Amino acid sequence: MIIIQCTDSSRRRYIAEEIEKYGKGNFSSQIFTFQELSVATQNFNPESLIGEGGFGRVYKGHIETKDIDVAVKKLDRNGFQGNREFLVEVLILSLLHHPNLVKLVGYCAEGEQRVLVYEYMHNGSLEDRLLNIGPNEKPLDWNTRMKIAEGAARGLEYLHETAKPPVIYRDFKASNILLDESFNPKLSDFGLAKLGPIGGRTHVSTRVLGTYGYCAPEYTATGKLSTKSDIYSYGVVFFEIITGRRVVDTSRPSEEQNLITWAQPLFKDKKKFHFIADPLLEGNYPEKALYQALAVAAMCLQEEATTRPLSSDVVTALEYLSTGKSPEESQEEEEDDDHKEEEEEMGSSPDNTTVESTENNSTQDDSSDSDKS
Ligand SMILES: Nc1ncnc2c1ncn2[C@@H]1O[C@H](COP(=O)(O)OP(=O)(O)OP(=O)(O)O)[C@@H](O)[C@H]1O
Ligand SMILES: [Mg+2]
């Protein structure tokens, strides 16, 4: 555990040294001055405000030197009482890189100020696009929903099964899944999420309320955390994606306030499944896919943590749901495509143009793959 007990200037140096040490030269984030970030956000102009969470406000900004849009999270000193969460956030996002984790562009640790600078995600959070949707906004269609669920599962798979040591995300919820301009999902909030309900802080009650319904029963009861508690939270979010309902919604009639208890009786009767689907989908989904999606969500929501699937199992299931094909079928199709390509190449003259165009194709395939993942 990292404990920081020092004065302002030495603390600043300490943070930079710790980050560099852990980053082992792999560190891509930039250190910004507070002045640079004030310029980027026009003095943290309220008009640039794009969101507010338990830790502070998020502003849209522009970094001239890099010519990129960014989201600048200025940590609120009243709710934020230590450096640890700030450090963990910076370290995790500096060490772990995946297309389904948000990118940290840089940070500022000047005086009392703690500011995080992220890549700007054009479509905000899944909560914005799914649960806070305005009357004139187009609802997410079924395929986009499945693509978001698949990408979010890939992010979890990376944290649980690729990262060493594995990382338990702890705060998997709709507001922490950000969406880029093509609705590719990226997980955000790592170090900060870990504060959760621990430590008797003043802002805890709101955070617990906000995150309450997403917590696995064994975590709520005993505080016991595992990758399987993330899977439970994934199941909750997947249910929200299918139903368009918040896990806890006090504005609904009392029997409908908790999504999971509301859905349970409907879930026992196949004929009632269509009541579960988000009415904004207007029935535009393959019926079989709805059954399968509900089955995956239910598996993730099992009371007994050990019987929940692994994140890689969820990815496999979601791959199938988002393409409508089993992994074997996808592989066979890929092989067929390869054969076709080979045959075409054999038929055409093996000059430079052919080689070049094949290379271009393979580059495009790569990029669309990474988009999908
Ligand atoms: N990188 C980003 N690009 C675009 N919008 C963002 C970005 N990061 C955050 N936001 C917006 O800011 C909002 C607030 O984010 P923040 O992480 O501070 O709080 P939260 O996730 O809503 O709540 P909590 O503090 O409980 O985690 C998000 O819901 C999203 O709309
Ligand atoms: Mg968040």
Question: What's residue 162's pLDDT?
Answer: 94
- The ligand 1 atom nearest the CA atom of 128: 31
Q: What are the structure tokens assigned to 47, written together?
A: 């008009």
Instruction: Read off the amino acid at residue 171.
Output: D
Annotated active-site residue in 67, 76, 141, 171: 171
Produce one character per residue of 272-303: b if its CB has 16 or more CB atoms within 10 Å, e if not.
ebeebbbeebeeebeeebbeebbebbbbbbbe
Phi, psi of 117 (to 5 degrees): -120, 115
Distance 189 CA to ligand 1 centre (A): 8
Strand blocks (E) in the chain:
30-31, 49-53, 56-63, 68-75, 104-110, 113-119, 177-179, 185-187
Separation between Cα atoms, residue 317 and residue 327, nearest integer Å? 9
Asked whether residue 78 carries a pLDDT value surpassing 90, the answer given is no
Contact residues of ligand 1, CB 6 A cut-off: 50-55, 58, 71, 73, 102, 118, 120-121, 124-125, 127-128, 175-176, 178, 188-189, 207, 210
Q: pTM to 2 decimals?
A: 0.80
* pLDDT single digits (tens) 174-220: 999 999 999 999 999 887 655 433 343 323 333 333 367 888 888 87
* pLDDT single digits (tens) 211-268: 678 888 888 777 777 899 999 999 999 999 999 999 999 999 999 999 999 988 887 7
CA 23 to chain centre: 22
Distance 125 CA to ligand 1 centre (A): 7
189 annotated as ligand-binding: yes
Instruction: Using pLDDT thresholds of 50, 70 and 90, give the confidence band for residue 86.
Output: confident
Average pLDDT over residues 138-145: 97
Helix (H) or strand (E) holding 265: helix 259-267
Neighbours of 370 (CB within 10 A): 12
